[in-house]
Amino acid sequence: MNHPVDLSSGTAPGRGTTHKHHPNHMKNLQLTIIPLFALLMITSCQGNGKQSEKSTAVTEKSDRMSTNQSTRRRGPDYQALKQELQLTGDQEKQYDALLEKYRGIQEAGRTAWTGADGKVDRMTMFEKMDELRKQQSAEMATILNEEQMKQYEAFTAQNRRRRPGYPDELMSRLKSELQLDESQWQMLKAVNKAFEKSYHDAHDFYHGNGELAREYWQRYDKERKNALKQLFNETQYEQYLEIVKDVTPQGGH
């Protein structure tokens, strides 16, 4: 596998803690970071014949695994959770109706992330599924009591398929604790989204192979950090590394 493009090869601003982001500099930085990040997946996924054969073998093996594991991958087992919640009769009716509602919305929305060729746009899928999860949780809070809702949230947090990029809660923390200005905030979101897209676009190469998925994630994460090193001043970058030090890949799927 070829190494990804090193984003740090671009012209980097000074690392002093008093560094200011001039509008023109931010514009140039954006023009540099995003196209380069878009090349990550292309560079990493291009390889010699052996790599292509390996990737094909991995994909074929993964397809077989997917067939065997289709039930497990349909999502959280809300029916099993229902038993633990000890719902009243009225709650159970509302609970079942709400789950059925969102199953219908999910099925109807599949066209939003499935192309004419049947290929899934994983970036769009994860974004939409995240939105639906939040909406479902908000409505579920009107049905369950406080203790039941804690159980529900813990269950969904443990069983949902996480997006590979930094989650919204972590992004908000970075914005607050690093005291990012608006230009920095917009660039952080752009870099994180580029990371997420690159990882999703490489899905066919690592699908079903957790070790290979971690390798892709780590390579793209290194480039994400290189890009943000150009964006943040020295103090901000040190804070950033401390905040994300425990962020790890979620594995391939």
Give pLDDT, residue 161.
67
Element at 41 (helix H, strand E): helix 23-45
Give pLDDT, residue 163.
74
Residue type, 74: R
> Percentage of residues in the chain with pLDDT exceeding 90?
33
Interval 34-77: pLDDT, tens: 554 544 434 444 443 334 444 444 444 444 444 344 333 456 88
* Per-residue CA distances from 242 to 68, 178, 184, 239, 245 (Å): 40, 11, 18, 5, 5
Task: Convert 161-197 to b/e letters by CB count within 10 Å (16 or more is b).
Answer: eebbbbeeeeeeebbeebebeebbeebbebbbbbbbb
Q: How confident is the model at residue 93 (pLDDT cuts 50, 70, 90)?
A: very high
Give pLDDT, residue 42.
40
pLDDT over 70 (residue 90): yes
